[in-house]
């Protein structure tokens, strides 16, 4: 099951930040309602709600960069829940806030809080939305049926490794949060994110030896309105283009069979079309067999 989340350290920091902002916003809210001072009004645009795998995702854009959280509750003005950001490393204007286990088919009131780097807290007007009738069930299960047989040779624990990458979010090392290695660690809760490479994002994955590669899997990341790869180009080690593949959204791994198997010890994946921004991948898989001669020698 896919979880939109972050590594534990980032999560902890975010939790602390969230609590700090929650405290500020709570008292700020009291101050605003009692004396109408201290808290400026936040104008968030493009507010969008989506429901996946039991998560409620609130995405929107703010004019000023900062960190956001979305306070939620079933009664107007009373907020019991907080949707936190899934990408907290640095102030930003495109926000993607996630909360698990809201009740399905239920009306929630919300208020968006923005903490700016200057220490200002802004809050939006109250809005409301209704959760999906079957929020927990909104998950595809085509993955298992389409998954190729055999070993995923791109997987880190199977000898896969990162040969190169266009960039990692915030300049992170490949083996850190948002680094390229997060795309081959077998963990759906970690993601490689480029640092705003959009359609120019690419990643090269090497295998422990040359294989007859016949299929790939690619699971694009998303930040709601951006960061999603729509079309993927795949090249072999010698630069031969093996095909372009249309991705059908960020919900799950999507598998593709190559027109013909190719002998190669690495693959390069390029974003050919995307919704821009911090494009990247949750997971990338590669399937292949050893050449006949090696199979016979085993
Ligand atoms: Ca991963």
Convert the pLDDT of each residue in 4-32 to its tens digit. Answer: 444 444 444 444 455 455 444 444 444 34
Q: How far is the CA of 169 from the centre of ligand 1 (A)?
A: 14
Third-level CATH fold of 8-137? Immunoglobulin-like (2.60.40)
CA of 70 to the centre of ligand 1 (A): 26
How do residues 174-187 score in pLDDT, each as one tens digit?
Answer: 999 999 999 999 99
Task: Determine phi and psi for 200, rounding to 5 degrees.
Answer: -100, 10
> Cα of 225 to ligand 1 centre, how many Å?
21
Cβ-based neighbours of 195, under 8 Å, separated by 6 or more: 167, 168, 169, 170, 171, 278
- 202 CA → ligand 1 middle, Å: 16
CATH 2.60.120.260 domain extents, the chain: 142-290
pTM of the full structure? 0.59
Q: Which residue has the higher pLDDT, 112 or 51?
A: 112
CA of 11 to the centre of ligand 1 (A): 16
pLDDT single digits (tens) 36-66: 446 889 999 989 998 877 788 899 999 999 9
pLDDT above 70 covers a percentage of the chain that reads 80
For ligand 1, the distance from its centroid to the CA atom of residue 188, given in whole angstroms, is: 5
CATH number for the region 142-290 comes to 2.60.120.260
Instruction: Give the distance (Å) from ligand 1 centre to CA of residue 283.
Output: 5
State the pLDDT at residue 104. Answer: 87
How many angstroms does the Cα of residue 184 sit away from the middle of ligand 1? 6
Going by pLDDT thresholds of 50, 70 and 90, the confidence category of residue 295 is low
- Please tell me the distance between residue 187's alpha carbon and the centre of ligand 1 in angstroms: 4
Is the model more confident about 50 or about 72? Answer: 72
Q: What is the mean pLDDT of residues 106-124?
A: 93
Domain with CATH 2.60.40.10 in the chain: 8-137
- DSSP class per residue in 31-97: HHHHHS-S-EEP-EEEEEEEEETTEEEEEEEEEEEEEEEEEEESBTTB--EEEEES--SS-EEEEEE
Distance 129 CA to ligand 1 centre (A): 31
Measured in Å, residue 213 CA sits from the centre of ligand 1 at: 21
Centre of ligand 1 from the C-alpha of residue 182, in Å = 4
CA of 180 to the centre of ligand 1 (A): 9
pLDDT digits (tens, 9 = 90+) for 230-276: 999 999 999 999 999 999 899 889 999 888 899 999 999 999 999 99
pLDDT above 50 (res 156)? yes
**Ligand 1 centroid to residue 146 C-alpha, Å:** 19
How far apart CA 172 and CA 175 sit, in angstroms, is: 8
Measured distance CA(143)–CA(253) in Å, rounded: 6
């Amino acid at each position: 099951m896919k979880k939109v989340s972050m590594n534990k350290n980032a999560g902890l920091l975010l939790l602390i930040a969230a609590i700090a902002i929650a405290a500020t916003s709570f008292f700020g809210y009291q101050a605003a309602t009692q004396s109408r001072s201290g808290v400026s009004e936040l104008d968030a645009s493009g507010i969008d709600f989506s429901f996946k795998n039991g998560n409620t995702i609130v995405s929107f854009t703010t004019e000023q960069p900062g960190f956001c959280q979305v306070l939620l509750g079933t009664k107007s003005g009373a907020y019991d829940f907080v949707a936190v950001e899934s990408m907290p490393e640095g102030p930003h204007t495109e926000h993607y806030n996630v909360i698990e286990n809201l009740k399905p088919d239920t009306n929630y009131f919300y208020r968006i809080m923005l903490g700016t780097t200057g220490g200002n807290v802004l809050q939006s007007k109250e809005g409301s939305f209704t959760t999906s009738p079957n929020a927990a069930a909104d998950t595809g299960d085509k993955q298992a049926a389409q998954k190729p047989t055999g070993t995923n040779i791109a997987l880190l624990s199977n000898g896969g490794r990162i040969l190169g990458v266009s960039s990692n979010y915030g300049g992170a090392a490949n083996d850190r949060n948002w680094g390229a290695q997060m795309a081959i660690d077998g963990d759906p809760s970690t993601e490689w994110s480029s640092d705003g490479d959009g359609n120019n994002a690419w990643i090269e994955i090497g295998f422990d030896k040359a294989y007859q590669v016949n299929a790939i899997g690619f699971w694009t990341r998303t930040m709601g309105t951006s960061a999603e790869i729509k079309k993927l180009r795949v090249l072999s080690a010698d630069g031969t283009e093996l095909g372009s593949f249309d991705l059908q959204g960020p919900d799950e791994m999507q598998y593709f069979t190559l027109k013909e198997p190719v002998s190669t010890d690495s693959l390069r994946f390029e974003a050919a079309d995307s919704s821009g921004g911090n494009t990247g991948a949750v997971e990338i898989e590669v399937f292949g067999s050893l050449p006949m001669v090696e199979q016979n020698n085993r």
